[in-house]
Amino acid sequence: MKALFSQFKFSRILIGDWILFFAALLLVIFLFKTYWHIESATKLQIRQGDKIYATLSLNQSRTLLIHGPLGDSKISIQNGQVRFVSSPCRNQYCVHQGWLKHSGQVAICLPNQISLELLGADKPFDSLNY
Amino acid sequence: MRIFACMLAILLVSCGREPLVQTQSYLFGTLVDISIYGESETKAHQAISQVLQNFQRLHHQLHAWKPDSELSQLNQSFAVGNTPVKVTPELSKMLIQASELSRQSDGLFNPALGHLINAWGFQRDEFTPVEINDADIQKWVKAKPAMSDIVIKDEMVYSTNPAVKLDLGGYAKGYALDQAAKILRDQGIENALVNIGGNIIALGRHGDKPWRIGIQHPRLATPMAMVELLDGWAVGTSGDYQRYFELNGQRYCHILDPRTGYPAQGTQAVTVLIPPGENAGVMSDVASKPIFISGENAKAEAAKKMNVAFYLIVSAQGKVTVTEGMSKRLNWLIKNPDLKVLPD
């Protein structure tokens, strides 16, 4: 028993260790490449006119109706993403923006005065030029 | 133990909220976003309220399709003859500046095109795809409304061409930015960021860092690059994605080429970065237009005429051209942009 134990203690790095080591390294590289550049957002800030309507977690499935000057805009939160589903505005730019998921992404409905902004731990910029 | 308590105190202090006041308002038919750093909430809100009041005033004065604005009344007098009309000293100064910039751009920046903009349906809060009325468009192109038709003397203004209808949509936001910077400085605000419908001017810094601006990707719901905006600098973009409609698969944007009367094609976006100066805001609004409208081979020349050294162009195919100076200031947020750098 003692011999067996010491054998483990002083054994060289085996092929399995190398596989594990490389798998871990690949995982780190993969995660770095996927997530380092633009951080996934965790929170959503909804503004209605001049006011913050709500700051919500993105980790929920929820549909909201937000009232603006033209009527109700429908917003859907799902799998860490958010989008305008429908809007009473004519041009539908806000709906065409589609899903937002990274922090700093913004969708604004000017006619109905509702904006969605994704917040993360570190906001990548102070304001958006468009 | 004492050292531990001190460290904890420092940690807690640094966790406190940073002295940043941010407001958003819908004015000018667009979104106005103001941030002030390092001032008390009361002082910041007072200053912001002054800026917003001034925006509201300008909005009423310069509205291009509400008949009671000062600009609309001037337009009405242009349409019926060439009797000089008295305007406010402020409007007179704006018209002189806009005329000068129009001349500098060889008429590509042309705020006298109100009738044409209206023919395309862009002079509305909510516009719909219009049936393109080529005869109407050609009529306004042939009439050649230009800023050089306007005569301004001692705040008396008239037009020698009844086809002139002023629309300062490509100028007013920039003018309002310059005014905002002045109001904030006069109020003793040293660090602020003002964003009117995407045109931005910076004062000072955001704490120990410069203000950082995301530049919107013209086709994706995400910023494509980040730029640091130093004290007094301004940034503006002309894009085919801000106001447009689609008809039979073709995109028609709000930026019209005065030579053809049709929306400029071949460009998705032009972003200009303007160094500090009295008119940085105006230039951030105006200078991108002639570059946007010019054909691919004439863009560099158009930029030169407007004295713009820092710019970024996204072509209709999504190819990005940047000047070397601009390139050095950008941090790309999208992977592997299709990039061409023009030497300074």
Mind telling me how many Å the CA of A118 is from chain B's nearest CA?
11
Sequence-separated (6 or more) residues with CB below 8 Å from residue B150: B95, B99, B112, B157, B158, B159, B160, B164
B223 shares a domain with B306: yes
Instruction: Nearest chain B residue to A82 by CA: give it.
Output: B221
Mutation target among B24, B274, B331 for the A interface, most CBs of A within 10 A: B24
Instruction: Tell whether the model's pLDDT for residue A7 goes beyond 60.
Output: no
Q: Any CB–CB contact under 8 A between A10 and chain B?
A: no
The answer to whether A129 faces chain B, any CB pair under 8 Å, is yes
Rg of chain B, C-alpha, whole Å: 22
| Residue percentage of chain B with pLDDT more than 90 | 82
Pairwise CB contact (< 8 Å): A49 & B200: no
The answer on B325 and B239 residing in a single domain is yes
Range of the domain at B257: 19-60+174-342
Asked if A58 has any chain B CB less than 8 Å from its own CB, the reply is: no
In this predicted structure, the answer to whether residue B6 has a pLDDT above a threshold of 60 is no
Residue B122 lies in a domain: yes
pLDDT digits (tens, 9 = 90+) for B96-110: 999 999 999 999 999
Residues B53 and B76 reside in one and the same domain: no
Residue B235 pLDDT exceeds 50: yes
Confidence at residue B10, expressed as pLDDT on a 0 to 100 scale: 46
Same domain (yes/no): B87, B71: yes
pLDDT at residue B175 tops 60: yes
Question: Between B13 and B137, where is the model more confident?
Answer: B137
Tokens of residue B96, six digits: 């002189």
The pLDDT-based confidence of B285 (bands split at 50, 70, 90) is very high
Q: Is the pLDDT of residue B73 over 90?
A: yes
What is the SS3 assignment for B269-300? Answer: EEEEEECCCCCHHHHHHHCHHHHHHCCHHHHH
What does the pLDDT average to over B218-222? 89
Round to whole Å and give the CA distance between B263 and B265: 6
Given a cut of 90, whether residue B183 has pLDDT beyond it is yes
B280: confidence class by pLDDT, cuts 50, 70, 90: very high
CA nearest to A67, candidates A46, A82, A81: A46
pLDDT at B13: 44
CA distance B323 to chain A (A): 18
What mean pLDDT is predicted for residues B214-234?
94
What's the pLDDT at B125?
72
Q: Say whether A129 and B335 touch across the interface (CB within 8 A).
A: no
pLDDT-based confidence at B11, cuts 50/70/90?
A: very low
Overall average pLDDT of the B204-209 stretch: 96
pLDDT at B12: 44
How would residue B194 be classed by pLDDT, with cut points 50, 70 and 90? very high
Select from B106, B135, B166 the last residue of a domain.
B166
What is the pLDDT, as a whole number, of residue B3? Answer: 52
Residues in chain A: 130
Residues of chain A above pLDDT 70, percent: 84
| Residue B266 to residue B268: CA distance in whole angstroms | 7
pLDDT, tens digit (0-9, with 9 covering 90-100), for A52-111: 899 999 989 999 999 999 999 999 999 889 999 999 998 888 999 899 988 888 898 988
Q: How confident is the model at residue B43 (pLDDT cuts 50, 70, 90)?
A: very high
- For B163-186, the DSSP string reads T-B--GGGTHHHHHHHHHHHHHHH
Closest CB to A90 among B126, B241, B271: B126
Bridge partners for B102 per DSSP? none
pTM for the model stands at 0.83
Mean pLDDT of chain B: 92
Residue A56 at interface with chain B, using a CB cutoff of 8 Å: no
Whether residues B223 and B329 fall in one domain? yes
A90 touches chain B (CB under 8 A): yes
Helix (H) or strand (E) holding A3: helix A2-10
Q: Would B198 be classed as within a structural domain?
A: yes
| Beta-carbon separation of B29 and A110 below 8 A | yes
pLDDT surpasses 90 at A122: no
Nearest CB to A128 within list B29, B223, B239: B223
A92-107 tens-digit pLDDT: 889 998 999 888 888 9
Least confident stretch, B23-37, B40-54, B276-290, B295-309: B23-37
Is it the case that residue B14 has pLDDT exceeding 50? Answer: no
Question: Of the candidates B166, B195, B213, which is a domain's last residue?
Answer: B166
- Smallest Cα distance from B120 to chain A, Å: 15
Angstrom CA distances, B294 to B137, B258, B260, B290, stand at 20, 11, 12, 6
Confidence of residue B115 (pLDDT cuts 50, 70, 90): very high
Regarding predicted confidence, which is higher, B8 or B73? B73
Strands B320-323 and B250-253 come out as unpaired
Tell me, yes or no, if A47 comes closer than 8 A to chain B by beta carbon.
yes
For A46, the token pair is: 């909804």
Q: What is the mean pLDDT of residues B294-303?
A: 97
Does A101 reach chain B within 8 Å, measured CB to CB?
A: no
Helix (H, G, I), strand (E, B) or coil at A41: coil
The residues that bridge with A78 in the sheet, in sequence order, are A81
Instruction: Tell me the backbone φ, ψ of residue B147, rounded to 5 degrees.
Output: -65, -25
Would the CB atoms of A129 and B26 count as touching at under 8 Å? Answer: no
From B113, B131, B166, the end of a domain falls on: B166
Of the candidates A97, A41, A38, A111, which has an alpha carbon nearest to the alpha carbon of residue B226?
A: A38
Q: What is the CATH number of domain A43-119?
A: 2.60.320.10
Q: A47: helix, coil or strand?
A: strand
- Domain extents in chain A: 2-35, 43-119
Instruction: Answer whether residue B336 shows pLDDT above 90.
Output: no
Taking alpha carbons only, the member of A98, A45, A102 closest to residue B334 is A102
Interface of B with A (CB under 8 A): 23-26, 29-31, 33, 35, 125-128, 193, 195, 197-200, 206, 211-216, 221-223, 226-227, 235-237, 239, 241-242, 245, 271, 333, 335
Q: Percent of chain A at pLDDT above 90? A: 47
| Beta carbons of B226 and A38 less than 8 Å apart | no
The answer to whether the CB atoms of A102 and B222 lie below 8 A apart is yes
CB contact under 8 A, A91 and B271: no
For chain B, what is the domain count? 2
What CATH number corresponds to the domain at position B136? 1.10.3980.10
Q: Looking at the complex, does the CB of residue A97 fall below 8 Å from at least one CB of chain B?
A: yes
Residue B181 sits in the same domain as residue B302: yes
Min CA distance, A125 vs chain B (Å)? 5
**Are A126 and B226 an interchain contact pair (Cβ–Cβ within 8 Å)?**
no
At residue A38, the pLDDT reads 56
Q: For residue B306, what are the contacts with CB-CB under 8 A and spacing of at least 6?
A: B101, B104, B105, B283, B286, B287, B290, B291
Instruction: Tell me: do B44 and B81 sit in the same domain.
Output: no
Q: Is A100 on the interface with B (CB under 8 A)?
A: yes
Domain identity same for B331 and B260: yes
CB contact under 8 A, B35 and A50: no
User: Has residue B76 got a pLDDT over 50?
Assistant: yes
A43 against B292, higher pLDDT: B292
Strands B150-153 and A51-57: unpaired
Residues B302 and B288 in one domain: yes
* Of B70 and A36, the one with more pLDDT: B70
For B238, which residue in chain A has the nearest alpha carbon?
A: A130
C-alpha distance from A11 to closest chain B C-alpha (Å): 43
Confidence class for position B82, pLDDT limits 50, 70, 90: confident
For position B244, what pLDDT does the model report? Answer: 87
CA distances from B200 to A63, B19, B26, B48, B185 (A): 33, 21, 16, 15, 16
**Judgement on whether residues B30 and B178 belong to the same structural domain of the protein:** yes
Answer yes or no: do B126 and A98 touch at CB < 8 A.
no
Contact B26 A90 (CB under 8 A): no
